[in-house]
Amino acid sequence: MEDIKRLLLEEKAALLSGIQEKTENKPEINKDIGDAIDSSVEEQKRELDLLLQDREQARLTGIEIALKKIESDDFGYCDECGEAISKKRLLAVPLAIMCINCQSNEERSRLAQNAFSRADYSSQILVDD
């Protein structure tokens, strides 16, 4: 588990460094942007930055949870079935919370649910016409 812990700590340091760099180099909001197109592009850039910040924050939270699990010896067990997650999987996906079988079942279930929702929505549209 030490190699996985090292990977998590390296990723955490890289994320924190990137966040700090973005914070330090954050440009001032330009009130005099120009025309509507320039304003729209500037707004899209801000929205993308916020989306990326949210993802980075979620990743940091996941890393913190994984590190706490490593310290308490709860790391590496599937949240769904309780079986050990293979070390090979954890090295590839250190934040994995499910074994490959449970993850596959979850993804199949989600795909089936999405397909059902789309079919249900399509049938409602046809009825509404």
Flag whether pLDDT at 128 surpasses 60: no
Write down the residue that tokens 């929205």 correspond to: 47
Most confidently modeled range among 12-16, 43-47, 116-120 = 12-16
CA 64 and chain centroid, separation: 14
Answer whether residue 93 is part of any domain: no
Distance set, CA 27 to CA 21, 22, 30, 31, 76 (Å): 12, 9, 8, 12, 41
Answer whether residue 94 is part of any domain: no
67-81 residue pLDDT tens: 999 999 999 999 999
Most confidently modeled range among 23-32, 46-55, 86-95 = 86-95
Answer whether residue 12 is part of any domain: yes
Is 0.85 surpassed by the pTM of this model?
no
Answer whether residue 32 is part of any domain: yes
Name the more confident of 23 and 105.
105
Answer whether residue 67 is part of any domain: yes
Report the chain's mean pLDDT, rounded to a whole number.
86
Answer whether residue 60 is part of any domain: yes
Region 80-91 average pLDDT: 95
Domain span at residue 72 reads: 2-77
CB-based burial label for 88 (10 Å; 0-12, 13-18, 19+)? exposed
Flag whether pLDDT at 66 surpasses 70: yes
111-124 residue pLDDT tens: 988 877 776 666 66
Residue 15: per-residue pLDDT? 92
Answer whether residue 46 is part of any domain: yes
Residue 29: per-residue pLDDT? 58
The total number of structural domains in the chain stands at 1
Answer whether residue 48 is part of any domain: yes
Flag whether pLDDT at 105 surpasses 80: yes
Strand (E) or helix (H) holding 92: helix 87-92
Flag whether pLDDT at 32 surpasses 70: no
DSSP state, 95? T
